Amino acid sequence: MTRTPVNVTVTGAAGQIGYALLFRIASGHLLGPDVPVNLRLLEIPQGLKAAEGTAMELDDCAFPLLRGIEITDDANKAFDGANVALLVGARPRTKGMERGDLLSANGGIFKPQGKAINDNAADDIKVLVVGNPANTNALIAQAAAPDVPAERFTAMTRLDHNRAISQLAAKTGAAVSDIKKLTIWGNHSATQYPDIFHAEIAGKNAAELVDDEAWLADTFIPTVAKRGAAIIEARGASSAASAANAAIDHVHTWVNGTAAGDWTSMGIPSDGSYGVPEGIISSFPVTTENGTYEIVQGLDINEFSRARIDASVKELTEERDAVRELGLI
């Protein structure tokens, strides 16, 4: 049976994450090995030529699942009929830029893109925001799309999730595949909280196995939370392949489901669970099934975790208040 191709829109397609992402979407890693895709690439005018070059290379791969590529600088065209949207293009913080300037510059990108999604995307649209500050950019886009169910707007904390699994595997000597139920709470920023208190390593509680609160507080959490900065320091450029990989993981899990006995981390609009104010886009432990997700409920949050979740959530509410004051939501 021939399946209808899924329309996947990628913004910032000519950037470094775009370059690491598009080939994996076209080869079937985003949605599955039997799902054909149409790619829609959105760039600013200065990025169009490079996007065309990437499209030439995509053609040269002769991917059987890739049914078409469109390149545009018009958001309404890029999101027309989109089923999946990966919002990667963003305004990076430059020297001397205050946080308000950064939020306002990104508001100028994510508000019109949210509206274009609202007006043009397919009814089943799923949005992942990668461009930083990812959680608040997702909130801006979501607020500009009142006709789209809010839960379709998500922000990427899967890279943090994967980084935390890798660090925990290195500490304990466990295989990555033996680590389950790890959680990233809060913001994709240095305040994020990677939580191993409910995580399991080959079925045993990870925090009990590690049994080293000083390592948790002084090594594990800061290493995961500041990994992005460490990559920039080492590579001279920010994470690209690992960020693209996490974007693939995020959407693949959302569409195809979490494994039994495991969960993942996604930045999603809070429903008030775990005392996180309703509406802000914060990372939670979630299970996914049939293209929908649910927050894992009933976890016991100890004092160590509570203080850290609250600190990251406070930062998110401050970012929300700042974009509200700027008239962006």
Ligand X SMILES: NC(=O)C1=CN([C@@H]2O[C@H](COP(=O)(O)OP(=O)(O)OC[C@H]3O[C@@H](n4cnc5c(N)ncnc54)[C@H](O)[C@@H]3O)[C@@H](O)[C@H]2O)C=CC1
Ligand Y SMILES: O=C([O-])CC(=O)C(=O)O
> Binding site membership for NAD(+): which residues?
12-18, 106, 113, 130-132
Whether 63 contacts 33, CB under 8 Å: no
Residue 231 binding result from ligand X, ligand Y, none, given CB thresholds of 5 to 8 Å by partner type = ligand Y
| Member of 36, 89, 228, 285 binding ligand Y (CB under 6 A) | 228
Residue 21 binding result from ligand X, ligand Y, none, given CB thresholds of 5 to 8 Å by partner type = none
Is 131 a binding residue for ligand Y by CB under 6 A? The answer is: no
**HEC profile of 270-303:** CCCHHHCCCCCEEEEEEEEECCEEEECCCCCCCH
Residue count of the chain: 329
The CB-based long-range contact list for 205-211 (8 Å cut-off, 24+ gap) reads: 206/168, 206/172, 206/179, 206/182, 209/172, 210/168, 210/171, 210/172
Contacts of residue 97, Cβ cutoff 8 Å, sequence gap at least 6:
105
Nearest distance in Å: CB 293, ligand X: 17
Q: What are the residues binding ligand X (CB under 6 A)?
A: 11-12, 14-18, 42-44, 47, 88-90, 92, 109, 130-132, 134, 156, 159, 188, 238-240, 243
Nearer to ligand Y, 129 or 144 (CB): 129
Nearer to ligand X, 100 or 275 (CB): 100
Nearer to ligand Y, 49 or 226 (CB): 226
| Member of 132, 136, 245, 253 binding ligand Y (CB under 6 A) | 132
User: Residue 302: phi, psi to the nearest 5?
Assistant: -80, 175
Catalytic residue check, 188: yes
Residue 96 CA neighbour count, 13 Å, CB half? 0
β-sheet bridge partners, residue 289: 292
**Site residues for ligand Y per CB under 6 A:** 132, 159, 228, 231, 238-239
